[in-house]
A and B are shown apart, each in its own frame.
Chain A
């Protein structure tokens, strides 16, 4: 029983990591109908930004929650700027071309960040400083660390925060209008360039927060860290219904539970294969995802 509950906690902790990244994926898709494959790499940049800032502040020697929050916010700011730059120089020039062009551009940006990262940061993994002292809470035979708890809480908070921004604020209304019809939104006086730049800034900031939080729990960071995690988060977003915010949360959690469940068996090394098998299966059976609603393509 202990083992089962522990695996449940393990699965939720891992799932929260996927959910955290999937939220950004799904939001950008929801507004722009663009699968931003560079999202996983912005997550990596966020972790590196946090790494450099935290080391500059020498937080490894004196951990403090207050400074950790400050580091997270700074990393989010750095990545928001990166997100705006990526949108301005990579996606905006091809915005009026076919959707495939944007998709291929996104893959190009992703590769640029991954291998550019290897040139700038080096391919050698680095250790993320321990900004928050690690603590383990046990309840019966079940253990959870404060860092994993933080990730779960942050994922839920971000889900509600995003939902609020999109449905309850003026900019959110503008985002939804832009998502519905870009040219009509422009005609209605919405500065769609600004709205799209804002969407990218927000998405990238979310990715950066995820990068710092995950690096706290699993302190190994390298320029390719966003590749596999980003792809799995993408699967999570599709599983939940891409474009749907609670769906990203659900998809992430399901992915985490599934991988953990599989790792608990003798087939632990097949977990990546299963993750992508799920992607294929969901696209075949229910392309809109679990919580998504199929929207007819406008011609």
Chain B
């Protein structure tokens, strides 16, 4: 079959133009519907997360935390006079473009009243504009990059942000570990890692320490020995790995294989099942985290007990934050007495509820100011444990 340019060229062009126009029109018409206005039936809430792929541990934990909270609400009689909360979960396969697709589907087809997610800042940043455009509130349980809530006034979060997390890590390394010269390994593909690196650098330098030029890698890399050898030659007192847990595990392991004995530090992105891949090499590492399961506060202990009973494992910080995000949403729906986007948004902006991870008071930037904990990472008998070291409060 031969393509005849003379005959069908113009026709095809017209067709493409028409198609393009119709897509544009279709897209322009939709925004502003502002959520489902129905006042009876289930309240449909959407969650998107990395249930599979590199970030699978994040997705699984947040799904479990979310489900636990939703079931507790439903068992207690639901919201708005007995309406049940129905949770729809979409998998984004740990890919930003899929995150945006998943949220578009939740908002336009499933007509959810609010969206919960994501953990990784890069994927939250990809999906947040969708929620903003359709005026559906989105609550990220654990994306710490400060730009996430800057997307718009419909985007909230229930965790601290990286400028604070970087400060916490820098202070701990300087005061507690007595480090004076540090190296940073950053994952240039992740907004989270890049943001956290900048913050650590700024605060550690402000304290009077020396920060070596950050060394870059990409998500999915598996050979870090070349960059680690360069880091080793500069003899830092401590090394930060600001990326996520899959790479962090291999970085620490290969560093120890190269005879690097100094402490390693990471952010909350280290909390994931695959971290155990680092094995004994993980010893002498520290992370900043959102909550500690060791906290004797009854709110925390009740949550830990319920989670353990249901999922037969210890809840991590990601699960705790996901749980808190649902509680914040439920409180806002109750106060708004509505599931309409703009009304719900207004109620969320004034949220102030006690949570498993601390007091959840939404501030003017739609973030919360919460203390961070420092945990020591230990590995024994095939299991990773996060041992509580100290709590650092925001100024």
Contacts and interface: CB of A to CB of B under 8 A. Distances in A.
Q: What does DSSP make chain A's interface, helix, strand, loop or mixed? A: mixed
Contacts of B257: 134, 136, 143, 145
Interface string A215-235: 000111000000010000000
B232 A3 contact: yes
Given A3-B233, A122-B52, A269-B188, A259 B258 contact: no
Given A122-B52, A123-B53, A14 B216 contact: no
Given A2-B233, A127-B277, A266-B213, A220 B53 contact: no
Contact of A219 (B227, B229, B277): B277
A200 to B, nearest CB: 27
Interface residues of B, number: 33
Given A11-B226, A266-B213, A220 B277 contact: yes
Interface string A95-129: 00000000000000000000000000011110100
Nearest to B51: A124
Interface string B218-261: 10101101110110110000000000001000100000111100
B171 interface: no
B352 to A, nearest CB: 37
B216 A269 contact: yes
Nearest to B276: A127
Contacts, number: 80
Interface in A122-155: 122-125, 127, 130, 134, 136, 138, 141, 143, 145
Nearest to A259: B226
Contacts of A143: 257-259
Contacts of B246: 125, 220
Contact of A123 (B52, B256, B276): B52
Contacts of A199: none
B226 A7 contact: yes
B54 interface: yes
Contacts of B276: 127
B98 to A, nearest CB: 11
Contacts of A261: 226
A268 B225 contact: no
A165 interface: no
A125 B217 CA distance: 18
A220 B229 contact: no
Interface in B38-56: 52-54, 56
Interface residues of A, number: 34
Nearest to B214: A266
Contact of A124 (B56, B216, B277): B56
Interface in A38-71: 60-61
A261 to B, nearest CB: 8
Interface in B46-85: 52-54, 56
Contacts of B259: 136, 138, 141, 143
Nearest to B215: A268
B279 interface: yes
Nearest to A263: B226
Given A123-B52, A145-B257, A218-B223, A264 B217 contact: no
B33 interface: no
Nearest to B91: A123
Contact of A268 (B53, B217, B232, B256): B217
B227 A263 contact: yes
B211 to A, nearest CB: 15
Interface string B259-298: 1000000000000001011010000000000000000000
A10 B222 CA distance: 13
Interface string A254-282: 00000111011010110000000000000
A264 B229 contact: yes
Given A3-B233, A220-B274, A269 B217 contact: yes
A124 B250 contact: no
Contact of A10 (B188, B215, B229, B382): B229
Interface in B332-373: none
A220 B52 contact: no
Contacts of A266: 213
A13 interface: yes
A6 B229 contact: yes
Nearest to B233: A3
A13 B232 CA distance: 18
A266 B56 CA distance: 31
A143 B257 CA distance: 7
Given A130-B279, A136-B257, A143-B257, A264 B227 contact: yes
B222 A218 contact: yes
Given A125-B54, A125-B274, A260 B226 contact: yes
12 contacts: A10-B223, A14-B223, A123-B53, A123-B94, A124-B52, A127-B277, A134-B257, A136-B257, A138-B259, A143-B259, A264-B230, A266-B213
Interface of A: 2-3, 6-7, 10-11, 13-14, 60-61, 122-125, 127, 130, 134, 136, 138, 141, 143, 145, 218-220, 228, 259-261, 263-264, 266, 268-269
Given A123-B53, A228-B220, 15 more contacts: A3-B229, A3-B230, A6-B258, A7-B226, A7-B229, A11-B226, A127-B274, A134-B257, A138-B259, A218-B222, A218-B250, A220-B222, A263-B227, A268-B226, A269-B188
Interface of B: 52-54, 56, 93-94, 188, 213, 215-218, 220, 222-223, 225-227, 229-230, 232-233, 246, 250, 256-259, 274, 276-277, 279, 382
